[in-house]
Amino acid sequence: MNLRERCALHLYAGVMGVLQPLLRVKLRRRARVEPGYAQHVAQRFGRDLPERPMLPQGAPLVWVHAVSLGETRAAAVLVNALREALPDMRLLLTHTTATGRAEGEKCLQPGDVQTWLPWDTPAAVRRFLTHFRPHVGVLMETEVWPQLVAACGVHRIPLMLANARLNEVSLAKAQRWSTLSRPAYSGLAQVCAQTAADAQRLRQLGAPAMGAWGNLKYDATPESSQLAQAAAWRSAAPGGWPPTVLLASSREGEELQFLEEIRRLTQAGQAQGATNGDDLGRQQIRWWVVPRHPQRFDEVARLVQAQGFGCVRRSAWTSSGPMPDSGVSPNPLPTVWLGDSLGEMALYYALSDVALLGGSYGPYGGQNLIEAAACGCPLVLGPHTHNFAEAADQALAAGAAVRVADMAQGVDAAVRWLSETPSQRSQAASAAVGFAQAHRGAARRMAAEVIRLLSLPPGR
C-alpha cells in the first residue's frame, strides 16, 4: 500500500467513525419495522461479542459473512459443502441485515456462533478479529470493506470473496474511489467469480480473480416441504387451482406498474386465463405479489387496496391454505394475493404457473432467477438483469424464460403463457428445472478453495 492509499484509508476511517451515531439512528428506525435491528447493537461496534467457539483438536474456525437473505442462502450451500469435507469445523457466521441473520440461524450447528459484522472502523474490526481469531474468512458476493481487508492482512487471516459478482455500474463506482477499492480488492487471498465477465471486471480492481467458478445458487435445492405443501394446496382447491401469475421479489415502483397492467387487462375484458388454449374464459387469473423486502409488506398491502383491488395476505392463511372463497373480490377489479412471509419463495413459485422477475422492471438489476427455475416456474424477465446477466442469458437460451421491454409486455407475455396447451406449459417448466440443474458444482469447487487457504502457512 503506497502513501496515497494509506492516507485514503486513514481518511476513510475518520469518516466511518464520524458516521457511527448516524448508524445508530438508522438502526433504531429500521427496528420500528424489523425488531431484529434492535438486537445486539453493541456487536456492530465489536463489543459484547459472543464467546469464541471451542474447537476440537485441529479443527478450524471458518468465518463466513453473508450480508442479507440472498447471500445467506448462497452461503448455506457453501457451508454444507465445507461441513462434508471438514466435519469438525466450527462456523462463525456474520450478517448486516435482520433478514440475513434470521435466515442464518438455519445454518448453525452446536458449537457455531452468529453475530453482526462490525462497522468498518479500525477499533471495531480489531476487537472482532482479536476476539474470534478465525482461521479463514469468506465474504459472500460483493462485501469488500477496506478496513476489514486491511485488518485481516495484519492478523494474517486469508480472506476469500466467494460467489463474487461485479457489474459495470459497481465497477465504475469502485474505480472512482480506486485509492480505497484497489488495496481492498488486491488484499484478498482469493476471488471466486461467478462468471468470466465478473472475473475480468474484478481484475481491473486488482483482485486475484482467475476464471469463472459458477454460481452457488445453482447448488441450492428448493425446500421440499414447501413444494409438497404447494402441490397439496393445488390439488385440494375446489374446482382446481386457477392459472396464477406471480410478481416475484418486487421492488418499489414495480407493484404499481403491475397493478396498472392488471387494471388495463380487466377493463379490456382480457383478464381471463384458462387451463388450455381453447378456453380463455373458464377461470380468472390469480395475481400474486411478493415484495423483496419485508419492511414493505404493509406498504404494498395498502397500495393494493388504495388502487381498488381486494387483498388476501399469506399471513392470514391457516395451515390448510387459503379459504375456498378468499380469492373472490367484491370489487370490479380482481383480488391480488400478497406473499407477506419470509423464506417461502419456493412455495410461491410452486403455486404459480409463470413469474415476472422483480427488480428487472425497474433499474435494480434483477433478483435471483435461479430459485424460480429450480421450482419449475418459467420466467418473464424485464430489461434490467445486470445483476444476473449470464444466468439470464442462459435461462433465455434454455427456454426457461422470455425477455420483454416493460411491465405491460411482461404481463401480456405471462397471460399468453397461460394460454399455451398443458403440454407446452409442462415443457417450459421442465426447461426451467433442466436449466437450473445444468449449472451445479460451484459449492464443491469453492469449498475446496477454502480448504486450500486453510492449508497455507500463516500470512501466505
Cα(414)–Cα(379) distance, rounded to whole angstroms?
A: 8
Q: Is 71 a catalytic residue?
A: yes
What distances in angstroms separate CA 387 from CA 236, 250, 259, 328, 363, one per listed residue? Answer: 38, 15, 25, 37, 11
What does the pLDDT read at residue 424?
Answer: 84
Question: Mean pLDDT across the chain, nearest whole number?
Answer: 91
Question: What per-residue confidence (pLDDT) applies to 273?
Answer: 42
Mean pLDDT in residue range 64-80: 95
Least confident of 158-167, 249-258, 277-286, 338-347: 277-286
Question: Has residue 328 got a pLDDT over 60?
Answer: no
Mean pLDDT of 354-366: 95
Average pLDDT over residues 378-397: 93
Question: Letter for the amino acid at 215?
Answer: N
**What are the sequence ranges of the domains in the chain?**
3-49+58-218+441-455, 226-317+326-437
Mean pLDDT of 60-84: 95
What distance in Å separates the CA atoms of residue 265 and residue 210, rounded to the nearest whole number? 49
| Cβ contacts of 67 within 8 Å, gap of 6 or more | 95, 96, 97, 100, 117, 140, 141, 142, 143
Question: What is d(CA 146, CA 159) in angstroms, rounded to the nearest whole number?
Answer: 12
At residue 458, does pLDDT exceed 80? no
Q: Report whether 89 contacts 60 (CB < 8 A).
A: yes
8 Å CB contact between 350 and 221: no
Q: Tell me which of 10-14, 154-158, 189-193, 283-287 is least confident.
A: 283-287
Question: Phi and psi dihedrals of 124, rounded to 5?
Answer: -65, -45
Q: pLDDT, tens digit, for every residue of 198-225? A: 999 999 999 999 999 999 999 999 999 9
Q: What is the pLDDT of residues 398-445, one digit of tens each?
A: 999 999 999 999 999 999 999 887 788 888 889 999 999 999 999 999
CATH number for the region 3-49+58-218+441-455 comes to 3.40.50.11720
Q: CATH number of the domain at 226-317+326-437, out of 1.20.1250.20, 1.10.645.10, 3.40.50.720, 3.40.50.2000?
A: 3.40.50.2000
Q: Which is catalytic among the residues 71, 143, 255, 261?
A: 71
Tens of pLDDT, residue by residue over 235-285, are 988 888 899 999 999 999 999 999 999 999 988 874 444 334 333 333 489
Same fold, 3-49+58-218+441-455 and 226-317+326-437: yes
Once rounded to an integer, what is the mean pLDDT over residues 149-169?
Answer: 96
**Which pLDDT value is given to residue 320?**
73
Query: According to the model, what pLDDT value does residue 275 have?
Result: 38
